[in-house]
Amino acid sequence: MAIEHTLYTWDPVSAAWVHERGPKVPPPPSPPDVHALQSYFFDAESKEWIRTVLAPMGRQLAARWEGAHKIPDDAAGRPAKNGNGKPKAAQKTGGSPTLVVVVVVVLLVALGGVAVLASQTSVFAGANATPTDAPVVVAPSVAPSTAPAPVESASPTAAPTSGGGGGGGGGGGGGAPPVRTPAPPAATQSLPPGLSTRLADGTAVIYTGPTLVVKPQALGATLSFTLANGRPAAGSVTVAVGTVSAPALIDGNGRVAVTLATTSLAPGPHSLQVIYNGTLATVTQITVR
């Protein structure tokens, strides 16, 4: 008889485990990458939580939270964890002694062949070398000139002055080029506390909409996105309040305006979050009444 394993899916938006199927047991500890959708099942024999393909509810969340479904950062090189949150012991592997001996013999033969080739090359090079007993005639590369050498000025080149008398002579244009002053770096944008956040790539997100909405009125959320270099951001973004989300495109001024329904939200505070360039971040809190 097939055993139905307990299956949980990690929701990065609500930062909580979602029970998919199987007996209800305490969920596993938080995954190493809390920003990725991922599913784990509990193996009763080894008493370990093992990551598996995304479960049905996880796929529904991936369709809802556009951009949140990505491969977890610990997919390469990090050991799986057991039920107590401790890493599994690395499995010891032993190499074949015969294979090691064959590799050593091949390396010795290759090194010997390189040494023989190098010695033969040096012998042939010595036999074909041109004898150096004959006198070497060096032809002068420059014909002697009877013209007097130009007199060099002992004074250093004068820096250009701010006066306007340098343009009067016809042959005096050999001054040093003007020094270019580098442009000052872009000033760091100050963010209003409680209504903004800064993403890992330096993009500043500022919320400019209302923070209180009364059901059944919809929330008109407006945000601005500014890159680290001070230019407006571009591309697509997903804005979410609680379990309600909507995709949108950033306009040429780095602004986004979306309308989010509040009829399915329970009264109370809800996090307003954005997903931009695969990064999920909380911008502010919205109170629903």
On whether residue 115 sits in a domain, the answer given is: no
pLDDT at position 114, please?
52
On whether residue 15 sits in a domain, the answer given is: yes
Residues of the chain with pLDDT > 90, as a percent, come to 43
- Give the domain range for residue 39: 7-75
Final residue of a structural domain among 75, 103, 126: 75
On whether residue 127 sits in a domain, the answer given is: no
pTM to 2 decimals? 0.37
| Range with the largest mean pLDDT of 70-74, 93-97, 199-203 | 199-203
On whether residue 184 sits in a domain, the answer given is: no
DSSP string, 158-220: PPPPSSSGGGSSSS---PPPPPPPPPPPPPPPP--TTSEEE-TTS-EEEE-S-SEE-TTSPEE
Final residue of a structural domain among 75, 101, 122: 75
Final residue of a structural domain among 75, 90, 117: 75
Neighbours of 258 (CB within 10 A): 20
What CATH number should be reported for the domain holding residue 262?
2.60.40.10
On whether residue 154 sits in a domain, the answer given is: no
On whether residue 217 sits in a domain, the answer given is: yes
Judged against a pLDDT cut of 60, whether residue 120 lies above it is answered with: no
On whether residue 84 sits in a domain, the answer given is: no
- In the chain, the number of structural domains is 2
H and E: helices and strands count for the chain: 2, 13
Structure tokens at 129: 């070398």
On whether residue 280 sits in a domain, the answer given is: yes
Report which of residues 84 and 190 the model is more confident about.
190
On whether the CB atoms of residues 82 and 46 are closer than 8 A, the answer is yes
